[in-house]
């Protein structure tokens, strides 16, 4: 745009701010700016910059989306990861290698092994800094759709009719494409709860490592779209939920799978336990949980193991014994009755053994 056009649009935005008493300059919420545009365009009483008001906000939105942000982020090293996450260095290096080569990785495992915790910190260690602007997280569920994830028609804010809106994946992928020198991470929790083929649609091909950068037309807008090579996808899969369908083979071919296991043998986890105010009771519980896990593996499989995350948190630092009792009685024992729903006596026997580890400690 020439200087005259720029001045006209800036003046239009200033007038909108004053007339509608709504901030524009400095506003970074795109959806809020779009709602303001709808209000401006639909207000028949507003006359002064009627011809350019809507387009001025559109230009400002494009400016915000493309504007680089300069900020000092806290660094995050491999040593910090290993002191923060209960996995070994060789496992971390393997995770990084899988993600760099395949671009798409699924962390699978039983509840309570820290999949989500690991995913975010894996992104940080690959970025070598903590930068929340380059990480986006969603959670799939049975009703999640292509329209929620890629693009689709949604009701207008004003309540009249529908408008085409981009989903979080398209927005984030385009953001990554504008910044090709840095890595971006799209994290999907409970990835196997959604119908992946339905959610990704025609993008199923584009997420493959060797198809990054290739373009296809999106279903609704018909816009050309590609998944950039600097965008990594990390999914988390709960392997203990019997209600979830297995991922189809077409999807499996596009992801590497890494199983996260309980970290009771990890030296960093052991150090964490021994630094608590009452490590004895927790160590007794953990030894019993190890025996319990052995039986779970024999009868149910590794996807049903009791994870170490049940025994991590600030509450343990305040009162270890009380928190142990709460977790065993109200989280783990109910889970055992779900596991052995057809053998209540076995669940009762393990409940007594676990409770016996902390009885008399309070």
| pLDDT tens digits, one per residue of 304-339 | 999 999 999 999 999 999 999 999 999 999 999 999
Give the chain's length.
Answer: 362
Report helix, strand or coil for 67.
Answer: coil
Query: What is the model's pTM?
Result: 0.78
Provide the b/e sequence for 117-142 (b: ≥16 CB within 10 Å): bbbbbbbbbbbeebbeebbbbbebee
Closest residue by Cα to residue 38 from 14, 25, 12, 20: 20
Task: Cite the DSSP H helix spans in 52-195.
Answer: 53-66, 78-84, 89-102, 115-127, 146-149, 168-177
Domain boundaries, the chain: 3-66, 78-259, 267-355
- 15: pLDDT strictly greater than 60: yes
Looking at the predicted structure, is the pLDDT value of residue 156 above 80?
no
Mean pLDDT of 15-34: 86
H-only helix segments in the chain: 3-20, 30-42, 53-66, 78-84, 89-102, 115-127, 146-149, 168-177, 196-200, 203-206, 249-252, 267-274, 279-299, 314-318, 320-327, 333-339, 344-355
- What gap in Å lies between CA 72 and CA 82, rounded to an integer? 23
**Distance in angstroms (rounded) separating the CA atoms of residues 337 and 346:** 9
What pLDDT was estimated at residue 246? 56
- 43-77 pLDDT, tens per residue? 888 888 777 888 888 888 888 877 665 567 899 99
Look at residue 311 in the predicted model and tell me its pLDDT: 95
Position 68 scores a pLDDT of: 60
> Would you say residue 242 has pLDDT above 60?
no
Distance (Å, whole) CA 113 – CA 99: 20
CATH of 78-259, one of 3.90.550.10, 1.10.443.10, 1.10.3720.10, 3.40.50.300: 3.40.50.300
Would you say 354 and 328 are in contact if contact means Cβ atoms under 8 Å apart? yes
Residue 123: φ, ψ to 5°: -60, -45
Question: What is the average pLDDT value for the chain, to the nearest integer?
Answer: 89
Residue 39 has pLDDT above 80, yes or no: yes
Q: What pLDDT is stored for residue 145 in this prediction?
A: 93
Element (H, E) at 162: strand 162-166
pLDDT value at position 91?
A: 96
Q: For residue 69, what pLDDT is reported? A: 58
Between 244 and 214, residue with greater pLDDT: 214
Residue 169: name the closest of 140, 132, 127 by CA.
Answer: 140
pLDDT score for 355: 94
Q: What is the mean predicted confidence (pLDDT) over 343-360?
A: 90
pLDDT of 247: 62
- The CA-to-CA distance between both ends of the chain, in Å, stands at 73
């Amino acid at each position: 745009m020439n200087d005259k056009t720029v001045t006209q649009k800036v003046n239009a935005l200033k007038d909108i701010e004053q007339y509608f008493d709504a901030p524009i300059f400095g506003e970074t919420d795109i959806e809020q700016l779009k709602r303001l545009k709808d209000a401006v365009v639909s207000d028949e009483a507003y006359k002064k910059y009627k011809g350019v008001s809507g387009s001025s906000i559109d230009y400002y939105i494009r400016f915000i989306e493309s504007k680089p942000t300069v900020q000092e982020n806290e660094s995050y090293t491999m040593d910090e990861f290993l002191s923060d996450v209960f996995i070994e260095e060789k496992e971390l290096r393997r995770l990084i290698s899988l993600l760099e080569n395949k671009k798409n990785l699924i962390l699978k495992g039983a509840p309570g092994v820290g999949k989500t915790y690991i995913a975010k910190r894996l992104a940080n260690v690959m970025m070598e800094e903590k930068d929340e602007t380059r990480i986006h997280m969603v959670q799939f569920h049975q009703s999640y759709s292509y329209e929620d994830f890629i693009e689709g028609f949604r009701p207008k804010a004003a309540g009249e009719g529908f408008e085409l809106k981009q989903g979080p994946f398209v927005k984030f992928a385009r953001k990554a494409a504008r910044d090709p020198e840095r890595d971006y991470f799209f994290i999907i929790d409970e990835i196997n709860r959604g119908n992946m083929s339905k959610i990704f649609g025609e993008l199923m091909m584009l997420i493959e490592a060797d198809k990054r950068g290739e373009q296809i037309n999106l279903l609704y807008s018909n816009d050309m779209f590609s998944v950039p090579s600097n965008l990594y996808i990390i999914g988390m899969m709960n392997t203990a939920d019997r209600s979830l369908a297995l991922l189809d083979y077409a999807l499996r071919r596009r992801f590497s799978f890494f199983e996260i296991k309980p970290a009771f043998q990890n030296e960093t986890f052991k150090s964490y336990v021994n630094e608590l105010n009452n490590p004895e009771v927790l160590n007794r519980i953990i030894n019993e949980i190890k025996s319990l896990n052995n039986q779970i593996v024999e009868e149910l499989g590794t996807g049903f193991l009791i994870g170490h995350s049940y025994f991590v948190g600030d509450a343990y630092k305040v009162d270890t014994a009380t928190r142990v009792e709460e977790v065993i009685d109200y989280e783990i024992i109910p889970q055992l009755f779900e596991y052995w729903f057809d053998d209540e006596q076995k669940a009762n026997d393990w409940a007594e053994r676990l409770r016996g580890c902390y009885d008399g400690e309070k």
